[in-house]
Amino acid sequence: MEILIITGLSGSGKSRAASILEDIGYYIVDNLPAEMMVKFAEFCAASHGHYDRVALVYDVRAGEPFDLLIAALERLKRTDVNCRLLFLDADNAAIINRYKETRRTHPLAVEGRSIEQAVMLERQMMQPVRDHADYVLDTSTFSVGKLRSELLNLFGREKDRQGIHVDVMSFGFKHGLPMESDLVFDVRFLPNPYYVPELKHGTGLDAAVRDYVFSFPQTGEFMEKLKSMLRFLLPLYNQEGKTVLVISVGCTGGHHRSVAVAHALAQELTDVGFDVTESHRDISR
């Protein structure tokens, strides 16, 4: 039986990681107190294989000393259970930006603490746990596709790795290139809906903006050439064993043209049978 403990800093991607692991067959339990982990492992071991791959998400929300987690980890490793600890990390700037984008509250941002102070406190509190980790992933520049690829490489079985996963992302050049990109396409040659008053405050996910972007013949021609190139490239990347390909589509701000094109491209690739994730990095900036 296998138990994977997922922990790390708030905002580092633990919930996303748990969802990915659930997709490949892990049974997920969120926020289980450390002292219950050993009992839960005993329950799973007696389930005759029903719970043979379990992932436990644990973080500062538990509200207990992290020494308890370390003690539980050491007890589990002395049993027949294959127990490993995955620690997700990210730099302060990435975590702060994620909290600002989602408008969530950091669990330690109380009593007048800023998000930055909360992150630094949590990092200090969790350092002993990080020191006990079997795996540490820094997700600062990870897209969803990159995180999925890393987790499949670490914990996936052969059947989980079949086929290439495509992560289609829109972004704004003024916010910088996505560092995880494999292929980058610049659509700033297309007419900009930003300068149309009734479209300025919309996004490429709105029908009116999308219709405007695709009303120009150069958009359709670009899409046909792009699809043709990807039909050639994707099978070759797959043959070379690449598990994830990040395709980034950029315009100036990441609100209109890039979003519309990335959304259309993701739909096209999905329709022809590829496993696709769609994301829009800068749409809310």
pLDDT in tens, 135-157: 999 999 888 878 888 898 899 87
* Last residue within a domain, chosen from 94, 126, 160: 160
Write down the pLDDT at residue 159: 67
- Please report whether residue 54 resides in a domain: yes
**What is the average per-residue pLDDT within 170-198?**
96
* pLDDT for 146: 81
What pLDDT is recorded for position 162?
Answer: 64
Q: Are residues 112 and 28 in the same domain?
A: yes
With a cut of 90, say whether residue 182 has pLDDT above it: yes
In a domain, 17, yes or no: yes
Q: Which band of pLDDT confidence, cut at 50, 70 and 90, is reported for residue 241?
A: low
Owning domain of residue 92:
2-160
Give me the CATH number covering residue 20: 3.40.50.300
User: Is the domain of 87 the same as that of 149?
Assistant: yes
Average pLDDT over residues 55-63: 88
Q: Are residues 148 and 197 in the same domain?
A: no
Residue 24 above 80 pLDDT? yes
Last residue of a domain, one of 160, 194, 221: 160
Instruction: Say whether both 201 and 273 belong to one domain.
Output: yes
Determine the Cα–Cα distance for residues 231 and 165; give it in Å rounded to an integer: 14
Confidence (pTM): 0.64
Using the 3D structure, point to which of 111, 132, 160 is the last residue of a domain: 160
Does 57 fall in a domain?
yes
If you average pLDDT over residues 124-145, what whole number do you get? 92
Domains of the chain: total: 2
Residue 161 has a pLDDT of: 62
pLDDT of 145 reads 74
Query: Are 123 and 58 contained in the same domain?
Result: yes
What order do you get walking across the sheet with 27-30 strand by strand? 27-30, 53-57, 2-8, 82-89, 135-138
Evaluate whether residue 35 is within a structural domain.
yes
285 lies in a domain? no
On whether both 147 and 196 belong to a single domain, the answer is no
Residue among 85, 92, 70, 73 at smallest CA distance from 12? 92
d(CA 10, CA 95): 8
Q: Tell me what pLDDT residue 183 has.
A: 97
Residue 57 has a pLDDT of 94
Q: Can you tell me the distance from the alpha carbon of 5 to that of 57, in angstroms, rounded to the nearest whole number?
A: 6
For the cut 70, the answer to whether the pLDDT of residue 190 exceeds it is: yes
260 domain-assigned: yes
Q: Residue 102: is its pLDDT beyond 90?
A: no
**Does 132 or 104 have the greater pLDDT score?**
132
Q: Based on the fold, state whether residues 46 and 154 are members of the same structural domain.
A: yes
Provide mean pLDDT across the span 211-225.
Answer: 98
Q: Mark whether 206 and 154 lie in a shared domain.
A: no
14 domain residue, yes or no: yes
On the 0-12 / 13-18 / 19+ scale of CB atoms within 10 A, 107 is middle
Whether residues 112 and 9 share a domain: the answer is: yes
Tell me if 113 is assigned to some domain. yes
The verdict on 18 and 134 lying in the same domain is yes
Q: Are residues 47 and 123 in the same domain?
A: yes
Q: Are residues 141 and 199 in the same domain?
A: no
